[in-house]
Copies of this chain bind each other. A is one copy, B any other.
Amino acid sequence: MTPSRPQPAVQARRQFEAALGAANVFFDDTDIAAYQDKFAIDDEAHHPAGAVAPATVEEIQAVVRIAREHGIALWPISRGKNLGYGGSAPLLAGSVVLDLSRMKKIDYDEANGTVLLEPGVGFYDLYDFLQQRGLKHWLSTPGNSWGSVVGNALDRGVGYTPYGENTSKICGMEVVLADGTLVRTGMGALSGSPTWQLYRYGFGPCWDQLFVQSNFGIVTKMGLWLMPEPESLMGMDVEFDHPDDLGPLIDAIAPLRREGLLQQSPTIGNWLRAAAVLTTRDQWTKEPGALSDSVIKAIRDKYKVGWWGVSLRLYGRESVNKAAYAVLEEAMNRLKPMSLRPTVWKRGEPLEYSGWTGTPITFPMQNANWHGGRGGHIGFSPVLPQSGSAAMAQFKRTYERYREYGMDYQASFAFGERHLINVNAVLLNKDDPAMMKKVDPFLHALVADAKAHGYGEYRTHLDYMDLVASTYDFNDHALRKLNERVKTALDPTGVIAPGKSGIWPASARRGAA
């Protein structure tokens, strides 16, 4: 269990109210409930003490000062929609959530295709903003698009377009440190620079990625690159009939991705990833434990989904896309898919509402209803090589674990340029105590299985941050110790998100979970 800090003194709350106005300080029971993790395994583990919602950098600096004075830990959230990984809840129970969702400024540089965003800007906000200006640039939206653009990039979330690895499109930040100092990174360190959002590295060490999945500062502005609207979007949705098709499919896509013919990073999803947003489990079976092959077959037949499916997309000039499409089509047909549906769009035609066009979507969150009851999911997301045999072994190992624990296997293998992220969703019914009891040992088993093969998670739920950090163990956890030296130098008392990504200040270090 997570240790908790004492509730902030009345005096601290008064100071927050004086600084932000009483309307932006939240310490009632209903407030606290509102900031809990809706998908939590253990509702008690990450209770916030309350929340404060500043609207400006100056107000954030005031909050930080008050928190420092009273020994309060702050848990910054952008819009708090990091569902499956902790939502809006703090790691350390008793922390005050620093809710930045009121900060919604957008600076758009249309000529260069960049934005400078505050953390409260959601994907829908930015989409509306760009649509009003003719949608000359597209977003890269994740499956749950009501979250924050900045928050998603800060947790290394991904989208579906060639700009899908959002964190790699960050260009310059503004950050408040634990002592209240305001820092700008990259070219933003040069006052009034017109290149802040154009060249990310600046002069000397580049800090952007040190503030990602981090507790070294509070990001108050983030530069981000946007994809120019392409002339054409072509591609294909391909379904595969057998579990064993995964390996050859990965080995066919990987070289095309590395050579750059495919600029977008496709995701191979299993049948349940497709079906869990279309139906619910009780429509098909009342049997406990993992689904049987016959039920899986019935669901797949109804919705005509493969055991695995993948969508490939090409963005750019129509003539170039046509030439590249022929290469993709040949590569996919060699694998004898059960179906291959082409898709074509040209500038001027109406846009499909999907992640492929960077349109905000929320239907993937429907999978939380799979089991009925108060639904939820939690992610297990190790990084793998782009190797068919490695992915097949990981799939088989994980699938067996799901069956052992009686869970329904929902998985995807998302390509980066040279890696795969194997996102496994553990679908939950919080009203099923027997199921909920199994989740924690199940996730421990999955983390241990991955570690035994040299794999680590790219991102994890609050409950597992210490555990996952502990798997990054080279030279007696030298990297974590380095992080903690910096944390201690910048934030010795742990004002900002102590424990985030397993990083604690020296004063608060606790053992791995």
Q: Which of B189, B260, B469 contacts A204 (CB 8 A)?
A: B469
Whether a CB of chain B sits under 8 angstroms from the CB of A456 is yes
B167 engages A455 (CB within 8 Å): no
A225 engages B478 (CB within 8 Å): no
Whether a CB of chain B sits under 8 angstroms from the CB of A114 is yes
A483 engages B190 (CB within 8 Å): no
B383 engages A199 (CB within 8 Å): yes
Query: How far in angstroms is the closest Cβ of chain B from A468?
Result: 6
> How far does the alpha carbon of A478 sit from the alpha carbon of B259 in the complex, in Å?
41
Query: How far in angstroms is the closest Cβ of chain B from A487?
Result: 10
Whether a CB of chain B sits under 8 angstroms from the CB of A434 is no
User: Which 4 pairs between the two chains have the least Cβ-Cβ distance?
Assistant: A204-B501, A489-B489, A199-B419, A189-B479
B-side contacts of A478, CB under 8 Å: 181-184, 189
A209 engages B212 (CB within 8 Å): no
B212 engages A474 (CB within 8 Å): no
**Copies of the polypeptide in the assembly:** 2
B-side contacts of A225, CB under 8 Å: 417-418
B-side contacts of A198, CB under 8 Å: 383, 385-386, 418-419
Whether a CB of chain B sits under 8 angstroms from the CB of A344 is no
> How far does the alpha carbon of A384 sit from the alpha carbon of B195 in the complex, in Å?
6
20 more contacts with CB within 8 A, not counting A177-B482, A184-B478, A189-B473, are A111-B387, A182-B475, A184-B474, A187-B383, A190-B474, A193-B456, A195-B455, A201-B209, A202-B456, A203-B460, A203-B501, A204-B500, A205-B210, A205-B213, A230-B259, A259-B316, A260-B315, A261-B316, A482-B490, A486-B489
A419 engages B195 (CB within 8 Å): yes
Whether a CB of chain B sits under 8 angstroms from the CB of A337 is no
Query: How far in angstroms is the closest Cβ of chain B from A417?
Result: 8
B416 engages A203 (CB within 8 Å): no
> How far does the alpha carbon of A24 sit from the alpha carbon of B190 in the complex, in Å?
42
B-side contacts of A296, CB under 8 Å: none
Whether a CB of chain B sits under 8 angstroms from the CB of A485 is yes
B483 engages A486 (CB within 8 Å): no
Interface string of A189-230 (1 = CB under 8 A from B): 111111101110111111111111110100000000100101
Enumerate chain A interface residues (CB-CB to B < 8 A). 111-114, 156, 162, 167, 171, 177, 181-185, 187-195, 197-199, 201-214, 216, 225, 228, 230, 255, 258-261, 263, 315-317, 319-320, 322-324, 326-327, 383-387, 390, 416-419, 421, 451, 454-460, 468-469, 471-475, 478-483, 485-486, 488-490, 500-503
Query: How far in angstroms is the closest Cβ of chain B from A320?
Result: 4
With A205-B210, A210-B205, A458-B199 in contact, do A482 and B385 touch (Cβ < 8 Å)? no
B205 engages A211 (CB within 8 Å): yes
> How far does the alpha carbon of A323 sit from the alpha carbon of B211 in the complex, in Å?
41
B-side contacts of A451, CB under 8 Å: 190
Query: How far in angstroms is the closest Cβ of chain B from A30?
Result: 33
Query: How far in angstroms is the closest Cβ of chain B from A437?
Result: 27
Q: Closest residue to A478 on the B side, CB-wise? A: B183
B458 engages A203 (CB within 8 Å): yes
B418 engages A202 (CB within 8 Å): no
Q: Which of B190, B194, B326, B474 contacts A189 (CB 8 A)?
A: B474
8 contacts between A and B (CB under 8 A): A181-B481, A191-B454, A205-B216, A225-B418, A317-B327, A319-B326, A482-B490, A486-B489
With A258-B113, A317-B261 in contact, do A454 and B228 touch (Cβ < 8 Å)? no
A205 engages B458 (CB within 8 Å): no
> How far does the alpha carbon of A468 sit from the alpha carbon of B111 in the complex, in Å?
28
A212 engages B206 (CB within 8 Å): yes
> How far does the alpha carbon of A473 sit from the alpha carbon of B193 in the complex, in Å?
10
B475 engages A485 (CB within 8 Å): no
